[in-house]
Each structure stands twice: as structure tokens, then as C-alpha cells.
Amino acid sequence: MTREELHHREVDMRFYRRNDGLFEVEGRLVDTKTHPFRRLLAEEDAPPGHHLHDITVRLVIDADLQVYAADARMSATPFNICPGAAAALQALVGLSIGAGWNKRVREMLGGVASCTHIVELLGPMATTVLQGIAPLRVVSTGDPEIDAQRRFRVDSCYAFAAEREVVVRLLPHLQREKPGTSI
């Protein structure tokens, strides 16, 4: 079997601590083709490797995961009008990243309200925030707010199922019996 690469999508996520006490998460999406292609409404082909999309989204958040600023840079888009979609990100200012984030983002920015690719980036950006800030939150393990964060993790994924080893060992007070067994 042989295969030929026709399209390459690169998604990059980065999390930063700022010197003003805030944090930034940046997501970038780049689409390229390995062959000449004609964009809709274009008069000539774009060469191989030319960016169809090059979109960077940035959120500024605090330690409580509240969004302070949101913006996007759309360096390459299929249509000249696309960068106008970035303005819709202002609707995220004041929201907090957490349960229901992806649903709220789709409700606020989905469809014609913004850019599909911006919306696509905001989900993994939220998980990048949680991964980036987690080590900073573990330091204050005696804090009651941390227990609320731990409760939020239970049943959030396969490993954190209330009846599995991770919860049994790390959060025994939140474990649940496996169906048909007793703890």
C-alpha cells in the first residue's frame, strides 16, 4: 500500500505564566496542501506548502480561570472577510474555563457568529489551561477550594472514574463501588 499526503493540519497549544500574575494560553492552527490548489473565488492556484489557514487565538486568564482578554490573529484565511470573525472573541471575556466551556463556546461563537477554526481551537486551549495550571494548584492541597477542583475531576475521564484505581488511591473519600462489588 502506498499513500500520498494531500493535506497537513498542525495544531499547537502553549501555556504561559505572565509577570503580572495572569496567564496566557495560545492556540495555533495551520493548514497546508502538498500540491497546488485553487481557493474558492481565487483567480490562480496557490503553490504547495502555502497556508490555507494560519490562525492564532490567545486568551488571558487569571488563576481562577476567568478570561480577561481574548483575541485572534488570522494571518492566512481562505477569504479576505474571515479575519472579521476574530471580533466575536470579546464575548468570552468574563467567562470562566471549566465545566460547560465547550458548549458555551459553541453557543456563543458557533455557526456564522465566528470562525469554525477559532471555535475548534478553544476546546483544546481550555484543556491546555487545565494542564498548565494543574501543578500550580497542587501546591495548596489543604485548601478547601482544591477539594472542589478534585471533585470536578471525578468521572471526568476514563482514569478518573470514581470506581477506578486513580480515584481510589488519590481521592478515597470520593470513590464509588464498582457495580456488583463492595469496597
Angle between helices 116-138 and 144-153 (to 10 degrees): 130
Averaged pLDDT, 13-28: 98
Is the model's pLDDT at 149 over the cut of 70? no
The pLDDT of residue 146: 60
95-140: pLDDT as tens digits: 999 989 999 999 999 999 999 999 999 999 999 999 999 887 665 5
Cα separation of 183 and 107, whole Å? 41
Q: What is the pLDDT of residue 91?
A: 97
pLDDT over 70 percentage in the chain? 89
* Ordered DSSP codes for the chain: ------EEEEEEEEEEE-TTS-EEEEEEEEEEESS-B--TT-SSPBPTT-EEEEEEEEEEE-TT-BEEEEEEEEEE-SSTTGGGGGGGGGGGTT-BSSTTHHHHHHHHHTGGGS-HHHHHHHHHHHHHHHHHHHHHHHTTTT-HHHHHHHHHHTTSSSTT-TTSHHHHHH-GGG--PPTT---
